[in-house]
Structure formats: structure tokens, C-alpha cells
Amino acid sequence: MKKKACACAVASALAIIAARDAGASAFALYEQGVSGLGNSYAGAAAVSEDATTVWWNPAGMAWLPAGKHIAGAAAFIDPSTKFSNGGSVAAPGHALGGTGGDAGNSALLPSVFFAMDIGRNWNFGFVINVPFGLKTEYDPTWLGRFQGIKAEVKTVNFNPSVSYRLNDALSIGGGVSYMRGEIDLVSAVNLGLAEAQNHTNVDGDAWGFNLGLQAKLGPQTRFGVHYRSSVDFKLDGDTSFSAPAPSVLNSNVKLDVKTPDNLAFSGAHRLNDQLELLGDITWWHWSKINQLPLVRTDGPFSGQTLDTLVLDFKNTWRLSAGANYKLSGPLTLKVGAAYDQSPIRSAETRTVRLPDNDRYWLSAGLRYAVSKSGMLDFGYAFVKVKDADINNDQSTLVPSRGIVRGTYEGKVHVFGIQYQHTF
């Protein structure tokens, strides 16, 4: 019984999908640079207004002014995630516990971008950023502790790219990504009348690529399309249990996870010298995340699948619209809105590690030209998460992890600042 208890507890800690309060649905982070934050990143693959185009569409480097462009950005993400109990059932022999407090955790998200021309019609760029991440953490005695207490996801991405200008109206670009990832998890372990904690840590790396095209459809209109591939993580690490769980059950483990690929279509149209309109439609291939098995890699149970977390994600769309209005002098005002679908299908497939739902963005920003070579951007977004019902029944597992039933209420404030210098 104890062996089964530990095995089930490890699986409940699976949380590559733990970043509930990221600025985009599921565990993706949209806050890549800040110059697009005020527009809710509408038109990101078409505008190529600064070095951040290296991430959003490397083909846009072809339309940057000659020279070297470097941009540094920081986004402060302040989420709130609160659970209201609606009939949860405790694991037999254990107290139910509280509602977990505010599971959202604030985070600072940095990113750096560089672009330069390297010859006739050729440009080179580089970005260091965090595409996935953030953290959820509940009170350790909360009612869903057997399904998850803490999950922290960290990534860092290195992405060089090049662009080529085919003619005065068309450019193409592409790049290669190297990404490091780490997952740190804590959950409670049901040992009959006793409880312990399970801690799992895995890390690893993966490779991917991105391709883009940007076209001028007229003197005032630009269109962009950009594809970013999935990356296939092979994560290795260890899992351990606190007393009274027998230490012999500690072992090394592995977890294979593919991130979703996405395809974006963006447009930008300048109505006059002051007003520019932006739009974006992005498709996310979340359905490739369905089942996540965690497997022992040493000890007497080497090769054994401890359990499989069935997520059954669906593909999603993100729609955004925005506008830039050039004020007098060096100031430009930015506004935007977005609708971001969640990949979670139902209350039954929603987990305590990812109580996500559809998101609605409202944003505003300000660009200030501090000099001919310096540009300063400020941005703010309010992201409202649609109330998310959960009815996750893990009472039939041996041992039981109980039933978490209720509603999550979530929101996110995002503040950002960015400076670009051209030389």
C-alpha cells in the first residue's frame, strides 16, 4: 500500500503545466519585450518597430534602420488565484483543510534583444528570454494538497536568427532555439492515517526553430506570418519523500514533455500620420499535450511508470487588436485588447496545478523617444481570467487523493518597461 501511495503521489506532482498565472493561457508567457505590451501584442509579427521583432518575426529585421539595435525589457507579473470550495471531499482518514490562500506568485520576467545588418539585404539577431514559466503555491495543509502544493517552472531560451530582404516588399527570416527547462514540485503523500511530502525536481534542454515572412501590401499596410516550433524536453532528475515514507522509494525519474508550437498572422495599417491599427490571430497546438508519464530510471522499480497524468488539452486561438496614436512631440500612445482561449476542456480535466480558463486582456502603453538613438517604452495590461470550475475526482486512486470541487477566481496585473538603443 505504501509503495502505491508514493507512486500515485509522484504523479500528482507532475507540473510542467503548473504556471497557472502566466500572462497567456496555460503556461506560456506572452510578455516578450514591452514595446508590444500596450497593444496586447496585436500585430507583433508585422510591426517590426524595434529589436523585439527578432522574437515575434525575424523577417522584420529586414525593415529596421541600418545599424545595431539592442533592447532590454522587464515585465513584472502580479497574479492572484483564489479558490472557493464547492463540495470538495477529503481523502479518507484525513482532515479536509483550507482553501489554500492566494496561489498566485509574482515574478519579474527579463528579456534582451539584439539585431544588426550584416551585409546587403541580410540581418542577424539574437534574443534571450523566458517563453514558459512562473509558479503556483498553496498553503501546505490545504484541501487539495494530495493533488499538488507547489509547482515552479523555469525556462530560459537562446534564439539566434537571420533575415533576408528579397525585394522592396518581401522579407523572410528564421532562427534556431536552444531552451533549458527546470521543474520543481511539492505535493502531499497519503499514507493511510499519516501524511508525508513528495519533492520532485527535473531539468533538461531542447531544440526548436522558427520561421517568418513579412510583406508590404502597400505603402501603409504590412502583413506578417510567423511559425514557432514545439520543443521536445527530455527532463531528468530525482524524487524524494519525507518521513515516514521509506527512503528506499527515493529514486531518479524522467519526464518527456513537448511544448506547443504556434502560428501567428499579423497585420498593421497606417490610416494617417498619427494613427496605426494592429491585429493578430495566433493558433496554439496545445493538443500535443495529452498524457504525461513519470518514469523511474533506477532502483528496484527502474522503468516503471509511476502514473500518467491525463490532460487532454485542446488547440486554442488568441485574437488581439490594438492601435498606436502619435501625440505631439516624441510621444506615442498605445492601446490594445485580446481574447486568449484556454486549452482545458472541462471542470473534470482541470487540475489544481493548472486551474486555467479563457483570458481577456486590456492594455495601454506609452513610447517616448528620449533621443534620435534611444527609445523608452512603458506598458500595462490587466488580464481577467474567466471564473474556472473544477471537479477533479481522484478519490478512486489507491490511495485516495480526494475530490477538489469548487471555483477559481483569477486576475493578473502586468507592468513593463523597455529601453532600446540604436548605434
Domain ranges of the chain: 2-422
pLDDT in tens, 138-167: 999 999 999 999 988 899 999 999 999 999
Instruction: Give the burial class of 286: count Cβ atoms within 10 A of its Cβ; 0-12 exposed, 13-18 middle, 19 or more buried.
Output: buried
pLDDT in tens, 77-96: 999 999 999 999 999 999 99
Are 35 and 49 within 8 A, CB to CB? yes
Percentage helix, strand, coil, to 5, in the chain? 10, 55, 35
Query: Does residue 218 register a pLDDT over 80?
Result: yes
The mean pLDDT of the chain is 91
Beta carbons within 10 angstroms of residue 258's beta carbon: 17
pTM: 0.92
pLDDT in tens, 361-419: 999 999 999 999 999 999 999 999 999 999 999 999 988 999 999 999 999 999 999 99
- Tell me, which fold does domain 2-422 have in CATH? Porin (2.40.160)
Consecutive H or E run containing 188 = strand 170-191
Consecutive H or E run containing 329 = none
Annotate 348-367 with DSSP letters as a single string.
TT-BTTB----EEEEEEEEE
- Residue 6 has a pLDDT of 41
pLDDT band at 244 (very low <50, low <70, confident <90, very high): low
Are 172 and 164 within 8 A, CB to CB? yes
- Spatial distance between the Cα atoms of 201 and 154, rounded to a whole number of angstroms: 11
**Where is average pLDDT lowest: 102-111, 222-231, 303-312, 383-392?**
303-312
